[in-house]
Homo-oligomer: A and B are copies of this chain.
Amino acid sequence: MDLQQLFQKEGKQLIKKKHEHVFMQGDHDYCFYFVQSGLLKGYYTLETGKEFIKSFVQSQDIIGSLSAVYLEKASTFSLRCLEETTLLEIPYAVLARYGKQYHCIANDIIDLLLKFALKKEQREFEFLCLSAQERYALLLNSSPQLLARVTQNDIAAYLGVTPVGLSRIKQRLTHQVTLT
């Protein structure tokens, strides 16, 4: 048995409409979610009211709040649907139980965590070493189909700039391109 089969077997199916939340920043959510279809955003809300997007979550992804699930603290971010989305929900306790019993599940969890860690490391690299314009160019290259499904506001919030800033970046890029 692998992790995905475990979700199929033990997961509870949730169907969420566009704009609905799976959980909110501050919640003590103790579940992981496998995305069967749809699109979501994980985002931070600051005291100032500003919103920043941690990640877009797509079909076949597994998502959960590590700080809520593992540290048993309040979730540091909210998870909200950008499109109608179907998920399979599984409590962490169930996952942990299977992990202890089946080595292959434990290995899948290690695998999942490693991929997650690598993804976060890559994003850290981009923020640490690259300009907003370079980050946008990378995103455009790696995920054009994702960008098409998402508003400019959300892309900006993902890059860590304002919508106005992103608009200027796009303008600069297209001018440069047509120059060459």
How many identical subunits does the complex contain? 2
A5→B40 CA distance, assembly (Å)? 42
Main SS class of interface, A: helix
Q: In the docked arrangement, what's the CA distance between A26 and B105, Å?
A: 32
Report chain B residues within 8 Å CB of A70. Answer: 114, 118
A71 cross-chain contacts in B, Cβ below 8 A: 118
Q: Does A17 contact B (CB under 8 A)?
A: no
Contact B66–A128 (Cβ < 8 Å):
no
Tier of interface size on chain A: 20 to 34
Contact across chains for B129 and A127 when beta carbons are under 8 A apart: no
Q: At the interface, yes or no: A67 with Cβ under 8 Å from chain B? A: yes
Question: How far apart are the CA atoms of A67 and B115 in the complex, in Å?
Answer: 10
- 13 residue pairs from A and B, CB less than 8 Å apart: A44-B125, A54-B128, A66-B114, A67-B118, A70-B118, A99-B110, A100-B103, A113-B113, A113-B117, A117-B117, A117-B120, A124-B124, A129-B160
- Chain A residues with CB under 8 Å of chain B are 44, 46, 50, 52, 54, 66-67, 70-71, 76, 99-100, 103, 106-107, 109-110, 113-114, 116-118, 120-121, 123-125, 127-129, 160
